[in-house]
Structure 1
């Protein structure tokens, strides 16, 4: 009889209160080609998982298992796999594959590959006991890193790191962060380590309190003006109304990077108020493997404080609902 496992699948995308995430039983996946089979030790819950569940970002096939911040252990290998051996600890992130031959891949921008696939959207992710992944897109993790606090690094940390690059803060500049969830919490620590002044604007009182713990210089309401002009800013909250607010907070020549994969409609911009004086508005699209490895190397050299709220695997639906309601401190992490 074929072995089975428990998993959580998006069966009916819709508002979180309608129960789009459902407990299911699936066959244990077997690796093919360059794939490895991975036992899930921890999987962080990302806002992208919420967007998939609620249908803001459509899953690519029915019944997809979400989850793309996975710390796991290799169990078995496909016939062409040779980079990892059973027992190795690895991380599985959002980027699952690229074509490797298009113009974007060849120039080093594999995050823009039109044929890219993503963990938890195109292929089943870490809201399960096991998953398979192409070993060429898997990241080695040392045994010394705690599984619970390492899982959020694989998306919240990596995408925050890329968003910081896209915002192009000058040396010892003034950075504004709009929204303060798991990704912003890690980005703030990276920016502070690099000598930036960091101001946080977010709606949640608890998030504002959390922002002050690593040393952010101020934490106010989402629409409040920062105490000084920002040389750069990152928008994490998926709220288009905040785009003109953040642009107006920029100093001359400043850049706003929008870090989310989903954003509500942006209202009309006033060119003179919002963009003139060479202010820039940029998007952030996924990340490259190079980004992930650079950030993981940074995290190894500069230990980061990772705020997490652990959840048993059996209540993954509750974790997603808590994320939707801003009841999660830091990152929610499922622990099978």
Structure 2
């Protein structure tokens, strides 16, 4: 198989030919059809998330076709050969700790993550634990389905943590935000988008995707917010978001990594405002969100790259050169003519 491999943090990914992975008990072997690129992949490549498996194949928003499954002893196969499934960030949990027993498997101390401690989908084939794979809804093409598996899922969990907030601010209008704004509007909420002050293209994209107002992240919105969702990995946005929410409002940090939060006066937290984070996802999140996605229906803006250009996709993400999500494809017949 072909794979983009991280040999050491802060070094470029290397395209290699490797032996096909062999599934063990409870695992599926997948032919990768598409894998979306996530900012978390950048955090891993840049060494901002510690102790990745090395060498590592990144990628955790995988759309694959089942080539083989090895059932766990005493269990029937979960998927038929040829089934289309999604592989998310959460790749394994212990199932027995207090967090897992309480339905909070996303906090399991023994959890392992796809494209971090487990080889991921920047490759032509991958193995995954069948229990953590999702059947994908029919009618959602591979390229549009891939970003749902992290950007969509984390966005959905972040929105859920805002409770029944009606007026929601979204800070950082990338892959997750452009999906969650559609869910929020479907639920009857009002959305206000925040981007960098100079980013006129980003403001226009936020409005196009459903925000009723879009402005600079350092300016106040036209109304007090009930909640703010932060997807940009910039700690300085936390005080800005706290100032934008009303008393009793909630600020939810949706990323896995963020720069240090600067000190801020207690007065902007006082008034029973809540500041919280979102960690990973649960399988229940995935099942709920993937059932909801075709009902909205979600429109996924994708920028397509062949597998061989995965490093370029990461650099384009870092530089903010596109709106929406980047998706790597393996089969050349899935690449639009202008990218082939």
TM range (shorter): over 0.9
Aligned partner (choices 68, 74, 77) of residue 76 of structure 1: 68
| Deviation at residue 213 of structure 1 after TM alignment | 1.0
Aligned partner (choices 260, 264, 269) of residue 264 of structure 2: 269
1:189 and 2:185 equivalent? no
Distance 2:264 2:230 in 1: 16
| Deviation at residue 12 of structure 1 after TM alignment | 2.3
Distance 1:59 1:334, change over 3 A: farther
Partner of 1:52: 44
Distance 1:300 1:252 in 2: 35
Partner of 1:27: 19
Partner of 1:6: 2
Residues 192, 213 of structure 2: 8 Å contact kept: yes
| Deviation at residue 20 of structure 1 after TM alignment | 2.7
TM-score calculated relative to the size of structure 1? 0.95
Partner of 2:144: 149
1:290 and 2:270 equivalent? no
Residues 182, 296 of structure 2: 8 Å contact kept: no
Distance 2:102 2:92 in 1: 16
Partner of 1:238: 233
5 Å matches for 1:11-160? 11-14=7-10, 19-80=11-72, 82-160=77-155
Unaligned runs of 5+ in 1: none
Partner of 1:326: 320
Residues 199, 219 of structure 1: 8 Å contact kept: yes
Distance 2:234 2:220 in 1: 16
| Deviation at residue 62 of structure 1 after TM alignment | 1.2
Residues 305, 313 of structure 2: 8 Å contact kept: yes
Partner of 2:168: 175
Distance 1:184 1:142 in 2: 21
Residues 89, 143 of structure 1: 8 Å contact kept: no
Distance 2:284 2:184 in 1: 19
Per-residue CA distance 1:24-61 (angstroms, 9 max, x = gap): 22111011000000000000000000000001113522
| Deviation at residue 79 of structure 1 after TM alignment | 4.4
3-state SS of paired residue (2:217): coil
3-state SS of paired residue (2:145): helix
RMSD: 1.1
Partner of 2:338: none
3-state SS of paired residue (1:157): helix
Distance 2:321 2:58 in 1: 20
TM-score calculated relative to the size of structure 2? 0.93
| Deviation at residue 143 of structure 1 after TM alignment | 4.2
1:317 and 2:303 equivalent? no
Distance 1:200 1:316 in 2: 29
Distance 1:142 1:104 in 2: 29
| Deviation at residue 169 of structure 1 after TM alignment | 3.6
| Deviation at residue 301 of structure 1 after TM alignment | 1.6
Residues 72, 91 of structure 1: 8 Å contact kept: yes
Distance 1:42 1:233 in 2: 31
| Deviation at residue 333 of structure 1 after TM alignment | 0.3
Distance 2:121 2:223 in 1: 41
